[in-house]
Amino acid sequence: MIMSSRGSACPRCGQATVSIGEAVPWCAACEWNLDTFDRAGRAPEFGWAWIDRGTYRLAARLTRQQYAALVDRPLESSGLGLAGVATAVASILLTVGVVALAATGVWMLFAFAFPNLAVVAGVAMIGLAVALRPRFGVVRDRRPGGRVSAGR
């Protein structure tokens, strides 16, 4: 990325404006004109200029709000929070559901005599439970030869 000074002064603070390539110039000191949509410098996301402009401005506003909310927070973790608790509860419920599915499948295998449709349903339940089981440990990278450890 090559940032170049444009020579023009910012109308808000008087500092020199900068630009990346041929993009719209903006002020690095006060961030004037930083949220201006540059149609030539961006690939269309939705194809309609008015929607692209609106989503760009919305993203810029939400980014500023999130930065303002996070700028004065301490770097230490603030605890689990509501989202963490909801995720943990959902994970436990899903894991219990998979275990119950497997247990029901095993029960259906042995509770009924062999030539029965319940045996087929039991095998299907066990197969679904195996497919839905939680996977811990290593996250596989889709690139050839890529392996990334979980937690790093």
Could you tell me the residue ranges of all domains in the chain? 1-34, 39-72, 81-135
DSSP H helical segments within 20-116, as ranges? 49-70, 81-111
Asked if residue 149 has pLDDT above 70, the reply is no
Report the relative pairing of strands 3-9 and 138-140 from DSSP bridges. Answer: unpaired
Using alpha carbons, list the distances in angstroms from residue 143 to 7, 34, 62, 116, 139: 45, 36, 33, 45, 12
Mode of pairing for the β-strands spanning 147-149 and 138-140: antiparallel
pLDDT in tens, 17-65: 888 777 778 888 887 877 777 766 667 777 777 888 888 889 888 988 9
